[in-house]
Structures are given as C-alpha cells and as structure tokens.
C-alpha cells in the first residue's frame, strides 16, 4: 500500500522561492534600471545551449497528486503565466548533480501557489513537479528553456537520454504526494 505524503500549498513569495530561483515580476530589491516610465529587474537566466521559447498548456485535474519530480542540469527554466492563470508547482532545492541517488527528502518539498500575476525562473538543478492549474480548464504559460533539454526529455520518454535531465519517481519507494490547500488559495 502506498504511503501518502501531504504537502500544504503556500503562497509564492521572494523569500520562500529563493532556494529554487527568482521571481519574475516586481521585487522588493532596487530596480536594475529605472527610466521615466519603466522599472526593470535583472534575472540570472543561464543556458548552455540553444534558447527555446515554448507555449505550454497544462490541463486542470481535480486530484492534486503526483509521484514524479524532475530537474534540468543546463538551463534555468523560466515560466510566465498567460491570461493571469493561477497554478501550483512543487519545488525541491538542487541536490548533487553527480549523484543520481541524491534526491530531495519528501518532507523538504514545497508547494507554491502562483497567482498568475508573476512568473518564476528556476535555478539549474531545481527539482520541480508539473504545474497544477487552480481552475478549469487549465493554465497556460510561455516558457524559456533549452532545445537540448526538451529533446533529452523526449528521448527519456522512449527509454533513452537522461544526460541533461533527471526524473525521480517516488512511487518506487511507495510514496504518493498529495497537495492540500489549508489557506483556500485554489478556490
């Protein structure tokens, strides 16, 4: 029988997202540039290959459960919600990239609610789940990634690849993660 581990959904803030990446939106630090009608904040985006701008559509599912998380070694992926679509993503801090057995402890994972008004950029190696849209029909994103990361993930689905990505499947340990919403953010 599987062990269910509940992860409470928390609001996305600069402070609780700092171990995983940077927020894309207005921040509390001084703007990188300020003009007469504009303020900009820098983003530490890094890539070791060809930039790929993609559109991602995540379908709403009423059951907020998962067993797998993944990480990417050569890109700081950035997600920009479109249409003010709210969602939740689960994150785990980067672990040793040279040790495939060094995966996040289940109790260290954080579920963060993105209101749809700001985006995120994950550090290289940050573990993450897929997106869980807050409402039907789903959530739509523009995201920056690396073309080689995408092709490596595609190869992994066919039982090959895995050079630029790693997937940790906790079902092999008999674990299912379930998101809980004690603050009612998904309503």
Q: How many domains are contained in the chain?
A: 1
- Residue for token digits 């785990």? 92
Q: Are 175 and 2 in contact (CB under 8 A)?
A: yes
Q: What is the domain-level CATH number for residue 157?
A: 2.60.120.480
Longest alpha-carbon distance in the chain: 61
Using CA atoms, how far apart are residues 77 and 121, in angstroms rounded to an integer?
6
Structural domain for 107, as ranges: 3-25+44-180
Separation in Å, CA 151 to CA 55, 58, 96, 130, 154: 16, 19, 23, 17, 5
Local confidence pLDDT in tens for the 187 residues of the chain:
789 999 999 999 999 999 999 999 888 889 999 999 999 988 888 888 889 999 999 999 999 999 999 999 989 999 999 999 999 999 999 999 999 999 999 999 999 999 999 999 999 999 999 999 999 999 999 999 998 888 888 888 888 878 899 999 999 999 999 999 999 999 8
Which residue spans within 106-181 are E strands per DSSP? 110-114, 119-122, 127-133, 138-146, 165-169, 175-180
Q: Which is nearest to 79 in space by CA: 16, 30, 17, 136?
A: 17
Provide the whole-model pTM: 0.92
Q: Which is nearest to 112 in space by CA: 23, 183, 187, 8?
A: 8
């Amino acid at each position: 029988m599987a062990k269910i581990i509940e992860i409470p959904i928390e609001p996305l803030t600069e402070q609780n997202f700092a171990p995983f990446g940077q927020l894309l939106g207005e921040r509390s630090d001084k703007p990188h540039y300020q003009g007469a009608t504009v303020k900009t904040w820098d983003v530490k985006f890094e890539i070791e290959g060809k930039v790929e701008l993609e559109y991602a559509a995540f379908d709403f599912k009423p059951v907020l459960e998962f067993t797998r998380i993944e990480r990417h070694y050569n890109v700081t992926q950035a997600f920009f919600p479109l249409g003010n679509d709210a969602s939740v993503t689960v994150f785990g801090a980067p672990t040793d990239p040279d040790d495939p057995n060094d995966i996040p402890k289940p109790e260290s994972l954080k579920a963060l609610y993105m209101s749809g008004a700001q985006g995120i950029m994950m550090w290289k190696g940050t573990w993450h789940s897929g997106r869980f849209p807050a409402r039907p029909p789903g959530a739509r994103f523009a995201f920056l990634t690396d073309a080689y990361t995408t092709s490596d993930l595609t190869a992994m689905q066919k039982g090959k690849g895995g050079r630029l990505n790693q997937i940790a499947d906790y079902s092999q340990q008999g674990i299912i993660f379930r998101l809980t919403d004690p603050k009612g953010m998904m309503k």
